[in-house]
Amino acid sequence: MSSSNVTNLTTLTNIIRPEIASLSAYHVPDSAGFVKLDAMENPFVLPSELQQDLAHHLAQVAMNRYPVPSYTNLKSIIAEKLGVPAGHEIIVGNGSDELIAMISVACAKPGAKVLAPVPGFVMYAMSAKFAGLEFIGVPLNADFTLNKNAMLAAIAEHQPAITYLAYPNNPTGTLYDADDMVEILHAVGNTGVVVVDEAYQPFAQTSFMSRLAEFDNLVVMRTVSKLGLAGIRLGYMAGNNALMNEFEKVRPPYNINVLTQAAAEFVLQRVEVLDAQAAALRAQRSQLAAALSAMSGVQVFPSAANFLLIRVANAEQVFVKLLNHKILVKNVGKMHTLLENCLRITVSTQEENDLFLAAFAASMSSK
């Protein structure tokens, strides 16, 4: 090793927190040339006439000016079109990831802990580490349902500042029992915040958003990414106004750029287009689940999201064979022991689903 490399390593050791140095950067695989079924994106584009109108609208945006940092109009449209109850403050973020980071920073008292069922969204644990918080993962049951008793025991023991409940959960697609979630909200009480992450709400058609007034410690977080606007990176959360005011203090100024703001305001005024696409994907989900369930050696788990989790023997080999067929899914088998031999498949168009099914059948038969 050269002396300069030794010096660089010494410098990094002196500067970088050890819990950060031990992490790996979030990896996104190259999907060029693949049928992309690994990231839960909406495969549908906007109708051509709407695309043209949107392009004209964006052309009028003053990109030489900062956005108005209150985002009042955008929040008003979110409240009206996406069902946030009147009187509840909304905070917008650069996707859900930034909202999670805001919550982590705001709650990062010395010794504070974050709790969530596992396997779950990786950013809950990563963001906790970024903010110097301890993350406590509570394993789900073997069928990926919520282990309520274990959650309640962990809450009693650790008194978490933040508890995450994804509704439905990624990467399993599970829709947790609402009564169990209410028990958790009561158990956390005034010692912490419970964040119900509804990223996949358009495909679950159930929500805690209408129940915000029942719980002072409830925050409901969503994104427009799965709804069909992943490219503009917009998330939002709502909850108790006093709590939202504190989170607002750590929101970076101008965190939503003017093009994202203008695109979101324009498209969400026509959200029925995206709702129709979500309905089509729910129908495709049922068809894809039925086709996979009919195959020998395939276990399909119930999903309320826009993806399916399946288990097959030798999932790693099947994953590689799918790559050879230019089909990219998510191999989640190494994320958690409960996910052994599991693959996650984004529900797509009829055409792409058929391409996947043909490649999957060939990959299974050639194991």
CATH code of the domain in which 326 resides: 3.90.1150.10
307 and 185, same structural domain?
no
313 and 265, same structural domain?
no
- pLDDT for residue 8 is more than 90: no
Model confidence, pTM: 0.93
Residue with tokens 């209150």: 70
**Among the three residues 219, 244, 269, which one is the final residue of a domain in this structure?**
269
- pLDDT for residue 112 is more than 90: yes
116 and 102, same structural domain?
yes
C-alpha torsion angle, residues 188, 159, 133, 137 (rounded to 10): -80
Structural domain boundaries enclosing 355: 25-40+272-365
| Torsional sign, CA 186, 129, 222, 145 | negative
Is the separation of the CB atoms in 259 and 63 below 8 Å? yes
Q: How many domains does the chain have?
A: 2
DSSP β-bridge partners for residue 91: 237
Query: What is the model's pLDDT at position 27?
Result: 65
- Bigger pLDDT: 147 or 2? 147
Query: For residue 78, what is the domain's CATH number?
Result: 3.40.640.10
Q: What's the CA angle centered on 247, arms 102 and 164, to 5 degrees?
A: 60
- Give the tens place of pLDDT for each residue, 305-345: 999 999 999 999 999 999 999 999 999 999 999 999 999 99
- Give the tens place of pLDDT for each residue, 63-108: 999 999 899 999 999 999 999 999 999 999 999 999 999 999 999 9
Q: How is residue 233 written in tokens?
A: 């990176």
116 and 88, same structural domain?
yes
181 and 310, same structural domain?
no
Residue 11 belongs to some domain of the structure: no
> Measured between alpha carbons, how far is 223 from 121 in angstroms, rounded to an integer?
14
**Among the three residues 239, 269, 299, which one is the final residue of a domain in this structure?**
269
| Crossing angle of helices 350-365 and 315-324, rounded to 10° | 120
300 and 185, same structural domain?
no
199 and 127, same structural domain?
yes
Query: What is the model's pLDDT at position 257?
Result: 97
Is the separation of the CB atoms in 289 and 308 below 8 Å? yes
Reported as half-sphere exposure (CB side, CA atoms, 13 A), residue 164 has a value of 35
281 and 248, same structural domain?
no
- pLDDT for residue 14 is more than 90: no
325 and 259, same structural domain?
no
**Among the three residues 235, 269, 303, which one is the final residue of a domain in this structure?**
269
Amino acid identity for residue 270 in this structure: R
Nearest to 193 by CA among 250, 116, 138: 116
Is the separation of the CB atoms in 281 and 347 below 8 Å? yes
293 and 215, same structural domain?
no
